């Protein structure tokens, strides 16, 4: 259950993000904007820039797996000021979680998960609650922030770029 709730979601959305980043790199080249400048863009002064949003997406792939499995998954190499390095970081994190067997995640959904945040807050949740109430919302928050920053800057992104995996479900017109 937990594996099916998380891994396909992560795989689909990181794939979508890869497509968005490919468009962003092309847009940078066409508009004379350095990738470093785009990666340093924020939605508002009190939010992290695109580079950090991408780092957080990668972290949100790994942190839940560490908490839910107890496995020590390696952190991918730090990204530099290029879009390609962020794509490599995301792909490395995705590869690490893809290797986790479903049975490793799909143990007791009522088992407790302890979560300590850097700000000193601590939570105790069931595994099912942790996935629903923390892991997935955190992942989506940073994926949406990354998309929004690129779109705000002018990268030509639309809804299909956010959910390209939905194209396989498109109903063919009759006739």
Residue-level pLDDT, tens digit, the chain, 175 residues: 899 999 999 999 999 999 999 999 999 999 999 999 999 999 999 999 999 999 999 999 999 999 999 888 888 888 889 999 999 999 999 999 988 999 988 888 999 999 998 999 999 999 999 999 999 999 999 999 999 999 999 999 999 999 999 999 999 888 7
DSSP string of 36-59?
A: HHHHT--SSTTS--HHHHHHHHHH
Residues in the chain: 175
* pLDDT value for 36: 97
> In the numeric block, which tokens belong to residue 86?
């962020």
pLDDT at residue 48 in the model: 97
The half-sphere exposure of 57 on its side-chain side, counting CA atoms within 13 A, is 32
Give the pairing of strands 112-116 and 122-126: antiparallel
The residues that bridge with 126 in the sheet, in sequence order, are 112
- What is this structure's pTM? 0.93
Q: How many CB atoms lie within 10 A of CB 99?
A: 10
């Amino acid at each position: 259950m937990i594996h099916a709730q998380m891994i396909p979601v992560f795989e689909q959305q990181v794939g979508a993000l890869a497509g968005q980043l490919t468009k962003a790199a092309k847009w940078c080249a066409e508009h004379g904007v350095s990738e470093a400048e785009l990666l340093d863009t924020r939605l508002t002064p009190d939010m992290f820039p695109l580079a950090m949003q991408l780092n957080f997406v990668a972290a949100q792939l790994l942190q839940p797996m560490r908490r839910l499995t107890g496995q020590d998954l390696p952190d991918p190499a730090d990204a530099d000021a290029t879009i390609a390095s962020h794509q490599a970081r995301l792909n490395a994190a995705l590869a690490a979680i893809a290797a986790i067997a479903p049975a490793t995640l799909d143990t007791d959904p009522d088992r407790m998960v302890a979560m300590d945040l850097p700000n000193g807050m601590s939570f105790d949740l069931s595994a099912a609650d942790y996935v629903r109430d923390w892991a997935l919302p955190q992942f989506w928050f940073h994926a949406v922030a990354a998309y929004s920053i690129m779109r705000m800057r002018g990268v030509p992104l639309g809804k299909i770029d956010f959910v390209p995996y939905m194209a396989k479900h498109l109903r063919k017109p009759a006739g």
